[in-house]
Amino acid sequence: MTQTVRVRFPPSPTGHLHIGGVRTALFNWLYARHCGGMFVLRIEDTDRTRSTEESIQAILEGMQWLGLDWDEGPYRQTERLAIYQSQAYRLLEAGKAYYCYCSPQELQERREEALRRGESPRYDRRCRELSHPPAGPKPAIRIKAPLEGQTRFVDLIHGDLTFDNSEMDDLIILRSDETPTYNFAVVVDDVTMQITHVIRGDDHIPNTPRQILIYQALEYPLPEFGHVSMILGADKGRLSKRHGATSVLAYREMGYLPEALLNYLARLGWAHGDQEIFTKEELVAQFSLSELNKAAAIFSPDKLQWLNAHYLRTLPSERLIPELLPHLIRQGVMKSAEEIDRAYLARAIDSVRERSKTLIEMAQWLRFYFADQIVYEPKAAAKFLTPATAPLLARLEHGLAALPSFDEASIEHVFQQLLADSGLKLGAIAQPARVALTGDTVSPGIHQVMAILGRERVLGRLRQALEAIDSDVNRGA
């Protein structure tokens, strides 16, 4: 009988959900979905001094925004302390672990002394064979690591990896306050949650032989391990804030779409031929651990922005609207989502897709569509809203007001008639009209803009421009 694939993503809630963690979550999620398996979310919150509820909620929000749904969880390690304790005492009773009575101060002094001698600062195992435990504070529990031989495993990405047991330490598995250490809690969680594949960053490779020793002491079968490459900045340094935002929700605030971020992260260390753009369904169908690259991946903000622009051009307007509305509200383009005419917004979006790389840019382009009063860019107004252009704008207003149907073809016909009558080129009429309608000299096509704005807005803005010109004349401007 084929074993059901079970993978997990275990973030530590000591900060925001970062790009590296999201990519690890994505690879696990894709593998689970590709295999018809289970994706487990586990919150590793045993670091009580740094873990916060705010961070937990940010992790959940980031996962939900990206559409990385989980099948089980979120489990919290702080709710599982009794499980870790029972497993640690089981090892103690089996003679595979022992009490360590050394104080943190003593351990630190010995580490410093070992470093002065040029030795590895491992625990010297002085409590390993104690026959008469000393009186004093409650002890920690350490596992008995083998003193010789090797620990090896076949990594799904890196192949055969071997470690000398002589380099291993007798790790503390349960602290004196009865909280588990990281390596022990991870193993117990993975065992009890029946995890079949541990897919994580390759910075965890040194932890793997230590964890294997714990699996073996507990007499549980090993999962398969696969360690994915790190993400580096363009300078080959570890990805950090200096390379740009690293928090997932920060990318949402910067105007990126979840489709773009997922597509980009999937290609960061994984390839399927030369294909660059994937739907989520295509990623699930084509994902394979064998195609993961063991070399470090380089993060490129330009490539991410290129993908984002692609999705802004191609996704349906109705998909973009929920992501766009917070930016429109934040920029003051509108006060609330309830007031919006979604059909009007969808048409406006279609007119600015090609010009936008982020949702922030799209919101800026859309501003004039929702303005109650147009504010003119001073240089544009000085050049195009003048007494010389006022007659053209007045004739344009008259022609548009008389149209039986206010669509692009009819609007274009009015422009053509005006050009024929005046002998001018299109720019001589289109640019004053553009400034009157949008406040600036750059916009989507003027006929399209007018058709989207509608007759009432267009005529009102043309009258506003004519009044502004008249007012300037009367002031002697």
Domain spans of the chain, in order of start:
6-78+230-304, 80-228, 315-370, 378-474
How far apart are the C-alpha atoms of 239 and 296, rounded to whole Å? 11
Position 360: which residue type? I
pLDDT at position 473 is 65
**pLDDT tens digits for range 231-279:** 998 888 887 767 666 789 999 999 999 999 999 999 999 988 889 999 9
Q: What are phi and psi of 141, to 5 degrees?
A: -120, 130
Cβ(22)–Cβ(248) under 8 Å?
A: yes
pLDDT at position 1 is 52
pLDDT at position 89 is 97
Eight-state DSSP code of residue 110: H
Instruction: Indicate if 241 belongs to the active site.
Output: yes
Structure tokens at 138: 């409650």
Residues of the chain with pLDDT under 50: 477
How far apart are the C-alpha atoms of 210 and 153, rounded to whole Å? 12
Structure tokens at 192: 């009890």
How many CB atoms lie under 10 A from the CB of residue 282? 14
The answer to whether 6-78+230-304 and 80-228 have equal CATH topology is yes
Q: Please tell me the class of the 80-228 domain.
A: alpha beta
CA end-to-end span of the chain: 87
pLDDT at position 136 is 73
What percentage of the chain has pLDDT greater than the value 90? 81
Q: Annotated catalytic residue: which of 96, 144, 241, 280?
A: 241
**To 10 degrees, what angle do helices 317-330 and 342-352 make?**
90
| CATH code 3.40.50.620 for 6-78+230-304 | yes
pLDDT at position 383 is 96
How far apart are the C-alpha atoms of 24 and 230, rounded to whole Å? 10
pLDDT at position 477 is 47
Chain-centroid distance, C-alpha 446: 37
Q: Which of 457, 426, 433, 254 is nearest to 348 (CA)?
A: 457
What does each C-alpha distance from 15 to 51, 246, 249 come to in angstroms? 8, 11, 12
What does each C-alpha distance from 409 to 8, 32, 105, 263, 428 come to in angstroms? 57, 52, 83, 39, 20
pLDDT at position 313 is 98
Structure tokens at 423: 């002998």
CATH of domain 378-474: 1.10.10.350
